[in-house]
């Protein structure tokens, strides 16, 4: 089977990318989704707080997803559910996408362009190296969320949560609503990894303590979790002897970070960013492999789905432009693009990474959003943008935190006005 | 007597740290908010704190056994658990469409509980 564009994943990223591509004129496209529904993780995020940027109203996850699903259906975008992509490889200028499902078995699609929208997954207990037995009752927060919100089953009654990521905070309230006693949330870092408002409305509203600079050092119980031992940690995140405290509980939820799900990208040989765990991309959200784009949480973990939708629409639009450009020219003139002048974006002084990490001026839109995260908590700081040595932006920030994504918008006209520009630097400036 | 109270505004993901100054329980000033919603939120928190409540109700004859729901607008914070108790008693039958009222005027708040997902 041949397709112009294959979109891997039918969550918020895949839906927004497909809609934008279709609206930009790509009609031969296909979404491949492994779940039995479109919408991805939004289906289990039944709390409100989505869509304030996109729709100017506060929606729940399933409502936000439904807006995009309805649009995709209206645009008659083809999709396959319960379909697992198992490999992507190169075949000359084409990409071979191998997928499996119950009806068709193994199918290989030859695509001109691919958008990677696989999302991310949670860091598991195995990845955290928590000592102790392996009893029942230990779940990632997202797994517990699926049990409660989709399957209508409660994972436990007395809960300790390790990690203060947003899913953990949301689940603290959710479990409380369903009658569980959430005893505490322990966070290894001296600051929370979640949004401030989730600490207010999910913990403070219900008097659930948040213990910063604490971790779980032991899990008790053989068949079922009976207790966990928490301890204070020092500035190197090492447990402080003598501070251990045993907390009786039957359930431990883990909300300790999200990891972009890039097995397919790695197998394809896409160059990755070691900080984000996602591909390195240019202004078009295109990876180092021509015609392979990436957006959403597979690219870098976002805090708000609104930004995922915005970013993914950009990827869809750029993939459409790529396909149009390919159509319009014979394959012999292909090499012309390679030597194009590009501007590297440096992330320094507290800025951990940027997406994109390189901009080709000729392909840049008039306004280019550059998203990034900082590595520590800053008060009364500024985000400074330098073009070469020249300051082109200085944005005052009352507070910056690793849990919240930041962005700057670069103007094409400003960059164009600086001849021989090869580097833009984004940094946190403190007084 | 003058006192100050601090709040994290929950009206949007910014989470502004808003400080209200009170004189004999009356609001004298509100600072730290980025937009008018922050002032409105803090005023409400001091007089009549309210929350949107999201949860589930049972559904029969559908692809899933539960359907997510929400209070259509916010309800008094003090009524959250009473509202959740009421939701436990509700069972709807599939199909369910987003916006369907599954329980009207929950706990005499004047606010309806509506479905937030489609269940076939």
Q: Which residue has the tokens 């951990």?
A: A352
In the structure encoding, which two tokens stand for residue B51, read together? 């929350």
What gap in Å lies between CA A185 and CA A209, rounded to an integer? 6
Q: Identify the pLDDT of residue A336.
A: 43
Residues A140 and A204 both lie in one domain: yes
Specify the 3-state DSSP secondary structure of B48: coil
Q: Which two tokens stand for residue A188?
A: 């290894």
Minimum CA–CA partner of B9 in chain A: A197
In angstroms, the Cα distances linking A361 to A128, A367, A381, A391 are 42, 11, 29, 19
- pLDDT category at B1 given cuts 50, 70, 90 is confident
| Same domain for A144 and A106 | no
d(CA A341, CA A344): 10
Domain end among A256, A277, A309: A256
pLDDT, tens digit, 9 for 90 and up, residues A365-422: 999 999 999 999 998 999 999 999 999 999 999 889 888 899 999 999 999 999 889 9
Report the interhelical angle of A61-74 vs A305-327 (nearest 10°).
20
Q: Which two tokens stand for residue A288?
A: 């180092």
Distance from CA of A190 to the nearest CA of B (A): 18
CATH of residue A222's domain is 3.50.50.60
User: How far, CA to CA in Å, does A61 sit from each of A65, A79, A303, A310?
Assistant: 6, 21, 14, 16
Q: Which uninterrupted H or E stretch holds B103? A: strand B101-103
- Number of folded domains that form chain A: 3
Residue in the structure block whose two tokens are 């399957």: A151
**Superfamily of domain B54-115, CATH level 4:** CPE0013-like (3.10.530.10)
Q: Are residues A250 and A264 in the same domain?
A: no
The structure tokens listed for B60 are 């029969």
Same domain, A331 and A349: no
Cβ atoms within 10 Å of B114's Cβ, excluding its own: 18
Of A256, A286, A319, the one marking the end of a domain is A256
Kindly list the residues from chain B whose CB atom is less than 8 angstroms away from the CB atom of residue A63.
98, 116-117
Domain that holds residue A243: 124-256
Of the spans A194-203, A308-317, B37-46, which averages the highest pLDDT? A308-317
Contact A219, A131 (CB under 8 A): yes
Tokens for B40, please give them: 């409105």
**Residue contact B8–A196, C-beta within 8 A:** yes
Token pair for B89: 């008693």
Residue linked to tokens 């564009």: A5
Distance CA B14, CA A119 (A): 23
B13 confidence band (pLDDT: 50, 70, 90): confident
Neighboring chain A residues of B116 at a CB cutoff of 8 Å? 46, 59-60, 62-63
In this predicted model, what pLDDT tens digit does every residue of A162-195 receive, in sequence order? 999 999 999 999 999 999 999 999 999 999 988 8
Task: Report whether pLDDT(A51) > 60.
Answer: yes
The rounded distance, in Å, linking the Cα atoms of B88 and B70 is: 13
Comparing A269 with B24, the larger pLDDT belongs to A269
- The position carrying tokens 């971790």 is A215
Residues A117 and A131 in one domain: no
Question: How would you write chain A as a 3-class SS string?
Answer: CEEEEEEECCCHHHHHHHHHHHHCCCCCEEEECCCCCCCHHHHHCCCEEECCCCCCCCEEHHHHHHHHHHHHHHCCCCEECCCEEEEEEEECCEEEEEEEECCCEEEEEEEEEEEECCCEEECCHHHHCCCCCCCECEEEHHHHHHHHHCCCCCCCCEEEEECCCHHHHHHHHHHHHCCCEEEEEEECCCCCCCCHHHHHHHHHHHCCCEEECEEEEEEECCCECCEEEEEEECCCCCECCCCCEEEECCEEEECCCEEECCHHHHHHCCCECCCCCCECCECCCECCCCCEEECHHHCCCCCCHHHHHHHHHHHHHHHHHHHHHHHCCCHHHHHHHCCCCEEEEEEECCEEEEECCEEEHHHCCCEEEEEEEECCCEEEEEEEEEECCEEEEEEEEEEECCCCCEEEEEEHHHHHCCCCCCEEEEEEECC
Q: pLDDT at position A339, please?
A: 56
Same domain, A111 and A132: no
For B58-84, write each residue's pLDDT tens digit.
999 999 999 999 999 999 999 999 999
**CB-based contact B56 A197, cutoff 8 Å:** no
State the CB neighbour count (10 A cutoff) for residue A330: 7
For residues A284-305, average pLDDT:
97
Q: Are A360 and A318 in the same domain?
A: no
Q: In this prediction, what percent of chain A has a pLDDT beyond 70?
A: 97
Which candidate from A48, A150, A399 shows the least CB-CB separation from B54? Answer: A48
Say if the ipTM goes beyond 0.90: yes
DSSP H/E element including B41: helix B36-47
Paired tokens of B116? 């937030």
Which two structure tokens, joined as six digits, stand for A227? 């207790």
CB of B68 within 8 Å of any CB in chain A?
Answer: yes
**Residue A214 burial (CB count, 10 A):** 23
Question: What percentage of chain A has pLDDT greater than the value 90?
Answer: 88
B114 pLDDT more than 50: yes
**Is there a contact between B9 and A197 if contact means CB atoms under 8 Å apart?**
yes
Q: Does residue B107 surpass a pLDDT of 80?
A: yes
Q: Do A49 and B13 touch (CB under 8 A)?
A: yes
DSSP-derived letter for residue B95 is -
Residue spans in chain B of domains classed CATH 3.10.530.10: 54-115
- Which of B5, B6, B13 is most worth mutating to test chain A (most A CB atoms within 10 A of its CB)? B13
Instruction: Calculate mean pLDDT across residues A47-66.
Output: 95
Distance CA A299, CA A312 (A): 10
Check if the beta carbon of residue A301 is closer than 8 Å to that of residue A3.
no
Distance CA A395, CA A278 (A): 27
d(CA A254, CA A172): 11
In contact, A158 and A183? CB cutoff 8 Å = yes
> Closest Cα to residue B18, out of A367, A346, A146, A197?
A197
User: Is residue A251 a contact partner of residue A160, using CB atoms and an 8 Å limit?
Assistant: yes
User: Angle at Cα A45 formed by Cα B83 and Cα B89, nearest 5°?
Assistant: 25
Is the same domain home to A270 and A358? no
Can you tell me the distance from the alpha carbon of B90 to that of B86, in angstroms, rounded to the nearest whole number?
7
What's the pLDDT at A330?
Answer: 45
pLDDT tens-place string over residues A77-94: 999 999 999 999 999 999
Cβ atoms of A4 and A12 within 8 Å: the answer is: no
Tell me the average pLDDT of chain B: 94
Locate the chain A residue with the closest alpha carbon to B83: A177
Residue written as tokens 């708000």?
A304
CB burial class (10 A; 0-12, 13-18, 19+) of residue A191? Answer: middle
| Residues A325-362: tens digit of each pLDDT | 998 754 444 444 455 779 999 999 999 999 999 999 99
Residues of B in contact with A377 (CB under 8 A): none
Q: HSE on the CB side for B65, CA within 13 Å?
A: 6
How many Å lie between the alpha carbon of A414 and the closest alpha carbon of chain B?
A: 28
Shortest CA distance from A406: residue in chain B:
B14
Looking at the fold, whether A149 and A240 belong to one and the same domain comes out as yes
Q: Report the distance separating Cα A285 and Cα A354, nearest Å.
A: 12
Average of per-residue pLDDT values in chain A: 94
Q: Binning pLDDT at 50, 70 and 90, where does residue A133 land? A: confident
């Amino acid at each position: 089977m041949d397709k112009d564009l294959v979109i891997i994943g039918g969550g918020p990223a895949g839906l927004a990318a497909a809609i934008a591509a279709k609206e930009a004129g790509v009609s031969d496209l296909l979404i491949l989704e492994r779940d039995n529904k479109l919408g991805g993780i939004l289906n289990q995020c039944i709390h409100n707080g989505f869509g304030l940027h996109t729709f100017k109203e506060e929606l729940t996850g399933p409502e936000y997803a439904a807006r995009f699903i309805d649009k995709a259906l209206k645009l008659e975008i083809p999709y396959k559910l319960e379909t697992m992509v198992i490999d992507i490889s190169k075949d000359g200028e084409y990409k071979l996408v191998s997928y499996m499902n119950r009806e068709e078995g193994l199918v290989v699609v030859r695509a001109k362009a691919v958008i990677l929208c696989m999302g991310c997954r949670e860091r598991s207990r195995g990845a955290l190296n928590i000592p102790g037995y392996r009893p029942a009752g230990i779940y990632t927060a997202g797994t517990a969320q699926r049990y409660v919100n989709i399957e209508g089953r409660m994972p436990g009654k007395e809960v300790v949560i390790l990690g203060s990521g947003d899913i953990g905070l949301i689940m603290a309230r959710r479990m409380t609503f369903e009658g569980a006693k959430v005893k505490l949330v322990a966070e290894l870092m001296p600051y929370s990894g979640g949004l401030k408002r989730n600490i207010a409305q999910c913990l403070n509203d219900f008097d659930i303590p948040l213990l910063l600079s604490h971790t779980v050092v032991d899990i008790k119980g053989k068949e079922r979790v009976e207790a966990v031992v928490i301890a204070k940690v020092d500035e190197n995140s090492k447990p402080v002897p003598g501070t251990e405290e045993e907390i009786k509980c039957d359930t431990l939820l883990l909300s300790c970070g999200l990891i972009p799900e890039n097995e397919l990208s790695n197998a394809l040989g896409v160059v990755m960013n070691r900080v984000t765990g996602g591909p390195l991309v240019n202004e078009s959200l295109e990876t180092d492999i021509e015609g392979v784009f990436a957006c959403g949480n597979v690219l870098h973990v976002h805090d708000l789905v609104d930004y995922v939708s915005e970013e993914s629409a950009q990827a869809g639009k750029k993939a459409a432009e790529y396909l149009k450009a390919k159509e319009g020219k014979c394959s012999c003139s292909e090499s012309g693009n390679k030597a194009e002048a590009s501007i590297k974006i440096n992330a320094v002084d507290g800025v951990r990474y940027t997406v994109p990490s390189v901009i080709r001026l000729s392909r840049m839109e008039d306004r280019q959003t550059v998203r990034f995260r900082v590595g520590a908590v800053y008060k009364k700081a500024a985000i400074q943008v330098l073009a070469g040595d020249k300051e082109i932006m200085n944005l005052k920030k009352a507070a910056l935190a690793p849990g919240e994504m930041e962005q700057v918008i670069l103007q094409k006209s400003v960059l164009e006005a600086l001849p021989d520009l090869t580097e833009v630097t984004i940094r946190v400036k403190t007084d | 007597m003058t006192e100050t109270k601090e709040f994290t505004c929950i009206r949007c993901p910014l989470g502004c740290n808003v400080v209200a100054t009170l004189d004999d329980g009356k609001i004298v000033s509100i600072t730290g908010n980025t937009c008018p919603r922050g002032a409105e939120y803090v005023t409400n928190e001091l007089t009549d704190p309210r929350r949107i409540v999201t949860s589930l109700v049972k559904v029969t004859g559908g692809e899933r056994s539960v359907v997510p729901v929400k209070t259509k607008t916010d309800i008094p914070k003090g009524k959250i658990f009473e509202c959740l108790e009421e939701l436990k008693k509700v069972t709807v039958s599939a199909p369910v469409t987003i916006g369907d009222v599954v329980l009207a005027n929950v706990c005499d708040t004047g606010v309806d509980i509506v479905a937030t997902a489609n269940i076939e």
